Amino acid sequence: MVNNPPEGPPPAIHAHDLTVRRGTGRAPRTVLDRIAFDVPRGRITGLLGPSGCGKSTLMRTVVGTQAHVTGTLDVLGRPAGHPELRSRVGYVTQAPSVYDDLTVRQNLDYFAAVLDPGRAAADRRRAAVERAIADVDLTSRTTALAGNLSGGQRSRVSLAVALLGTPELLVLDEPTVGLDPVLRRDLWNLFHEITAGRGVTILVSSHVMDEAERCHDLLLMREGRILAQDTPEALRTRTRSATVEEGFLRLVDEADGRVDARADAQTGTLETETQR
């Protein structure tokens, strides 16, 4: 691998010269454009940027479900999409992938059976389901139909499914969309517990800049490129900004050569929580 510091463990994700094209026909669009970044292990890395900048595409590429990929993308020391990564990487898509007509426990039993099939694995599956339900704090709702749960609870079921295989890396695509501030805080606390307690690496996307402050590290994206990779504090200091959002806008202006036009950039580049 290239660009790794000599000391410390290798990053959970290493990308170099990574390009993704999407769309059919003669002229597919370049959605990720020769990007390079590292995601350190055992930390929460936030992937932030405006709607349409390529966050979901990058996540799909990391979990190996995206076509038309060129360049280098190593995940947990293997090329993205390697079969060995199936049980080592958990992925939660934007829409909660649960069956509404099954209960919480039935959903988890089903996904556990897909992940670890066979009679011989029954005890292991039962233990994994119990642990995942406890992890997301849904022990009191195991017999509820998923279709009758609140948005936050459904997100938790999706997260529990992703936790079933005890992944080393969790890829979470905008898990807090549509949740109220209390549920968002609870979910972020859960992410921190998962990372601190088990050393799991989390790559989580959001287009709400407030959430940047909850991450250990940030990848700021814009129009298919990485604008910055930093900790929230380093980003604020480097850009002499009070918030990550302000720092992001300053970087956008610098990239556009519009350092004096920040007021323009504030008009809708990003969504803040108060606007949602």
Ligand X SMILES: Nc1ncnc2c1ncn2[C@@H]1O[C@H](COP(=O)(O)OP(=O)(O)OP(=O)(O)O)[C@@H](O)[C@H]1O
* Residue ranges that bind ligand X, judged by CB under 6 A: 22-23, 29, 31, 51-57, 207
Residue number, 57 or 201, with CB nearest to ligand X: 57
At closest approach, how far in Å is the CB of 119 from ligand X?
40
- Identify the sign of the CA torsion 273, 201, 65, 47: positive
At closest approach, how far in Å is the CB of 24 from ligand X?
7
Residue number, 197 or 268, with CB nearest to ligand X: 268
Among 70, 61, 67, 69, CA closest to 39: 61
Residue number, 48 or 149, with CB nearest to ligand X: 48
At closest approach, how far in Å is the CB of 50 from ligand X?
7
At closest approach, how far in Å is the CB of 60 from ligand X?
8
At 233, the amino acid letter reads: E
Instruction: Report how far apart, in Å, the C-alpha atoms of 68 and of each of 20, 121, 251 are.
Output: 6, 37, 29
At closest approach, how far in Å is the CB of 206 from ligand X?
8
Residue number, 68 or 198, with CB nearest to ligand X: 68
At closest approach, how far in Å is the CB of 52 from ligand X?
4
The DSSP result for the chain, as a single string, is --S--SSSPPPSEEEEEEEEEE-SSS--EEEEEEEEEEE-TTSEEEEE--TTSSHHHHHHHHHT--SSEEEEEEETTEETT-GGGGTTEEEE-SS----TTSBHHHHHHHHHHHHS-SGGGHHHHHHHHHHHHHHTT-GGGTTSBGGGS-HHHHHHHHHHHHHTT--SEEEESSTTTT--HHHHHHHHHHHHHHHHHH--EEEEEESBGGGGGG-SEEEEEETTEEEEEE-HHHHHHHHT-SSHHHHHHHHHHHHHT-TT-HHHHTTTSSB-GGG-
At closest approach, how far in Å is the CB of 54 from ligand X?
4
Residue number, 56 or 103, with CB nearest to ligand X: 56
Residue number, 29 or 131, with CB nearest to ligand X: 29
Residue number, 135 or 210, with CB nearest to ligand X: 210
